[in-house]
Amino acid sequence: MKQSKLIVITMPLLITAGCKIQIEVPPGGEVVTESGVYSCSTGEVCSIDVVDLFFDETFSAEPATGYRFDGWLKRDRGLCGGSDDPCRLLTAGFEGNEVLMGFLERPEEVFFLVPQFKEIPTDAFDPDLFVSTTFTVAESGLSVTYSFSENGSYTKRAGPIFAAGKYNFEQNDRVINYTQLASTERPDLTGYAVFESFDAENGFYFVCYTEDQDVRSARAAIDLCESGGGGDLEAPTRLRFFIDD
């Protein structure tokens, strides 16, 4: 999960603080405030009156099990549109500004706060969830941390051992092909991770992993995972990729 940060509300966003904030929550989660004063459940449309100079609330979108938060919706009069951070709205600084004070006096002024939730597949790999996410893996008795970036690079840390490399999706985004550049004397490695299923409740992927140098394609990796090994090929390793918040 991306680290939350304070949204500093500049003049244009202060204007959109408006006299009414309408929260529209689609299926897949809820919206709550840090203060606990306001909450809006899935499927509800909630309206908040903003009528004075003391309004200061930070709104967070909380996804339900099996969903993820994909950011606040960009739309006409939408608040925090395009951001996936908590949305802070406040009226401090309105005093003395006739335009801004006018918004606090007109109940017909309505602005919208709409979270976007996406259902996470329970039986398939979801590339959108995978990218820019950190995973912890129990590998050979070690706690291994993988971090994947949008630019196609990744890092791997297992105790004192650090590796970095490139990755790309193959075979309908079900397989990840790794090129690993290790900080040891070992040569560059190529490995394949075949994503088999996702446990939404516990937040981890079941992964079939092979780094056998004779496995040189995503199709071969899938075949190896389905057959459990055989011939001169090493049996694949089953791993659990736990999603780190």
Give domain status of residue 1, yes or no.
no
Which residues lie closer than 8 Å to 112 by C-beta, 6 or more apart? Answer: 21, 22, 23, 24, 73, 75, 77, 78, 79
Q: Are residues 49 and 87 in the same domain?
A: yes
Q: At which of 64, 97, 119 does a domain end?
A: 119
Residue range of the domain that includes 141: 127-243
227-240 confidence digits (pLDDT tens):
766 666 777 888 88
Number of domains in the chain: 2
Give domain status of residue 21, yes or no.
yes
Q: Are residues 99 and 132 in the same domain?
A: no
Task: Identify the residue with better confidence: 74 or 186.
Answer: 74
Q: Are residues 20 and 99 in the same domain?
A: yes
Task: Identify the residue with better confidence: 167 or 141.
Answer: 167
Give domain status of residue 115, yes or no.
yes
Across the range 202-210, mean pLDDT stands at: 81
Split at pLDDT 50, 70, 90, the class of 197 is confident
Split at pLDDT 50, 70, 90, the class of 5 is very low
Q: Are residues 112 and 38 in the same domain?
A: yes
Helix, strand, coil percentages for the chain (3-state, nearest 5): 10, 45, 45
Give domain status of residue 2, yes or no.
no
Q: Are residues 106 and 43 in the same domain?
A: yes
